[in-house]
Structure 1
Amino acid sequence: MSGANPSFPSLVQQVKDNHQPLAEVTQDQQCVLEGSFLRVVRDTVMQPNGRLAIREYVKHPGAVVVVPMLDDGSYLLERQYRHPMGRMMIEFPAGKLDDGEPGLLCAQRELLEETGCVAREWAYAGVMHNCIGYSDEHIEIWFARDMTQHEQALEEGELLHLSAATLPELLQLSREGLLTDAKTLTCLLWLQLVHNGSWTLDWQGVGE
């Protein structure tokens, strides 16, 4: 096939116009499971074709992920055992938002608790929706640099190992299937584009 296909509408224009012809309207919602911070709900929705359908998904308070940039050009990461996966996972520091908590404050808190680091400069990169088929979770992406080392303040039962890696090393681990965490992979997209100058970050100073 050669040349443009005029039968497909412009995705960019549809997004700009907020075109949502397939929107569903919730008719009823039931709580299926109430956990310590997660809820599973079952919605009855009206589809645009007039039919009813069932949607089951996880309600999540939201979270942040932090990309800590070390002075030597490498990045600080964690390895944690994740029970659902049954193995150690490579991740950037992350954690869930408390009720009403601003993303930056959560990012600062999680970085200190999990790594013992305090960053003097922060930059908000964007937001991701990492499991859109079964959860409303959103994760804010924050970059941190100019860090000083303090003491960790891990929650009871929270166990993790800290280590550093360069961007090429992280990309190779991803290529080999050893780094598979979705939020960390998304951060690697940002890292590559910031690294080559395609995207920029708006850094702000934050006192210790």
Structure 2
Amino acid sequence: MDKLTLSPDANPHLAEIKVSGELAYSGSFLKVEKDIVRLPDANQVTREYIKHPGAVVILPLLDDGTVLMERQFRYPLNQVFIEFPAGKIDPDEDALVCAKRELLEETGYTATEWRYLCTIHNAIAYSDEHLDIFLAKGLVAGKAQLDEEEFLETFTATIPELLDWVRTGKITDVKTVIGSFWLQKVLSENW
């Protein structure tokens, strides 16, 4: 069997099958599901997981080679994080449309060139969340249009700075860690 064949049908010896399920919590943004599943050995266990609509991450590369970044307070960890612009995909919204909207809302910038890089799943043990990562170039400055409850500030950094901040633990946000490595590879034309 090919190591990269990942579908449950091709790997029945690993698949967990839903027997029953219920909505354990429903909030304005997240939902928590509680399912009973049958394991490959026929035992049944409970799986609790967060349903998430998905999000986008934008790697905004300025013409001078610096990257537009954000500092934002994140309540669950009670600290300010360095991050790439990102945001939740609205129902029935195309990911690229969302990326363009989020870049404008959070930073005021628009971009003339967009490139889809990859999709990541950042919390596979307890969430179905996915993040579509886009490279944005040809940036044009404008006025940010932050949501009413959104507070952040933007700044620029070099890619060597980003990589050093990842190495030293100043950047720990997974989307920003992965995005920094993608930028390094894309710009060195390794990917």
- Give the shorter-chain TM-score range: over 0.9
- Kept after mapping to 1: 8 A contact 2:81/2:171: yes
Q: CA-to-partner distance for each residue in 1:160-208, whole Å, 9 max, x for gaps?
A: 0100000100011111111000011111121121122111xxxxxxxxx
Residue of structure 2 in register with 1:129 after alignment: 121
CA distance in 1, matches of 2:175, 2:111: 21
Instruction: Show the counterpart of 2:34.
Output: 42
Corresponding residue of 1:28? 20
Q: Which of the residues 107, 119, 138 maps onto 2:99? A: 107
What's the CA shift for 1:16? 3.6
User: Residues 67 and 157 of structure 2 are in contact (CA less than 8 Å); yes or no, is this contact kept in structure 1?
Assistant: yes
Q: Is the 8 A contact 2:34 2:49 kept in 1?
A: yes
Rate the CA distance shift 1:133–1:104 in 2: closer, same or farther, 3 A.
Answer: same
Q: Does 1:92 align with 2:81?
A: no
- Percent identity of the aligned residues? 46
1:14 alignment partner AA:
K
1:165 equivalenced with 2:157 (yes/no): yes
1:15 and 2:7 correspond: no
Report the secondary structure of 1:184's partner residue: helix
The aligned residue for residue 190 of structure 2 is 198
Question: Residues 67 and 17 of structure 1: is their aligned pair in 2 closer, same or farther, counting only changes over 3 Å?
Answer: closer
Shift of residue 48, structure 1, vs aligned partner? 1.0
**Which SS does the other structure have where 1:14 is aligned?**
coil
TM-score, normalised relative to structure 1: 0.88
Does 2:73 match 1:73? no
Q: Structure 2 stretches of 5 or more lacking a match?
A: none
Given candidates 159, 167, 180, the residue that maps to 2:172 is 180
Partners of 2:184 and 2:137 in 1: CA distance: 16
State the AA in 2 paired with 1:148: V
Q: CA RMSD in A?
A: 1.1
In the alignment, the residues of structure 2 paired with residue 88 and residue 197 of structure 1 have an alpha-carbon distance, to the nearest angstrom, of 32
Q: For 1:91, give the aligned amino acid.
A: E
Which 4+ stretches in 1 moved above 4 angstroms?
Answer: none
CA distance in 1, matches of 2:6, 2:118: 21
The change in CA–CA distance for 1:48 and 1:109 in structure 2 (over 3 A counts) is same
Corresponding residue of 1:203: none
User: Could you tell me how far apart the structure 2 residues matched to 1:132 and 1:138 are?
Assistant: 9
Question: What displacement does 1:17 show?
Answer: 6.8
Q: Which amino acid aligns with 2:152?
A: L
Residue 58 of structure 1: which of 42, 50, 62 is its match? Answer: 50
**Normalising by the residue count of structure 2, what TM-score does the alignment of the two structures yield?**
0.95
Partners of 1:192 and 1:143 in 2: CA distance: 12
In the alignment, structure 1 segments of 5+ residues that lack a partner are 1-9, 200-208
* CA deviation map 1:81-112 (0-9, x unaligned): 00011110000000000001000000000000
Q: Quick one: distance in 1 between partners of 2:6 and 2:101?
A: 37
Equivalent residue pairs, number: 188
Q: What residue in structure 2 maps to residue 206 of structure 1?
A: none
